[in-house]
Amino acid sequence: MWRSWRRRTVRDETLAAYAPPADPGTTTLEVEALYVATTPEGDPLERLAVEGLAFRGSARVEVHRKGVLLRIAGELPSFIPADRIAAAGTATYAIDRGVEPEGLVALTWIVDDRSEPEVPSRVDSYLRCRYPGDSARFVAAVNEIAAAPEAPQPEAEESEASDD
């Protein structure tokens, strides 16, 4: 297990959340949650060792106009700017956590990838809100500020067949 974790941290050493701004602005929503994991977008069973988001733990999550601030026990605070947030939605499972339908919140965002800054890497960060109703409020608050550009779509190859 130690070897696989070490390999993962080396593989993901260029990935990080963003440093919190000096003044993130007014808090529009604050929730208590269990931070579960961060995975590549659409691959909830492949954990990433993103700096500041590598370990599961209790968290206080704040939504601000400028972005989302995650304060996870044992980690430095991590910030996700609004222009890096694609969307938030619900999920049922992520690596090491399966819950009732829509029991997790998935926050899709563009990670700070220091090795490939021109190629945005999208990830999903999973949270389990502690109190009833917080998940829906969190998803709504995040989607209100989400401003990341759409993910690039592969270009469709034009058919060489003619319509003769």
Q: pLDDT tens digits for 97-145?
A: 788 888 999 999 999 877 765 556 899 999 999 998 999 999 999 999 9
19 within domain boundaries = yes
Is residue 161 a part of any domain in this protein? no
Domain, as residue range, for 47: 8-145
CATH of the domain at 72: 2.30.29.30
Which amino acid, residue 14? T
3 state DSSP class of 132: coil
The answer to whether residue 104 sits within a structural domain is yes
Q: Examine residue 73 and state whether it is found in any structural domain, yes or no.
A: yes
How far are the Cα atoms of 96, 119, 121, 130 from residue 99, in angstroms, in the given order?
Answer: 10, 33, 27, 13
Q: Considering the entire predicted model, what is its pTM?
A: 0.84
Report how many domains make up the chain: 1
Give domain status of residue 137, yes or no: yes
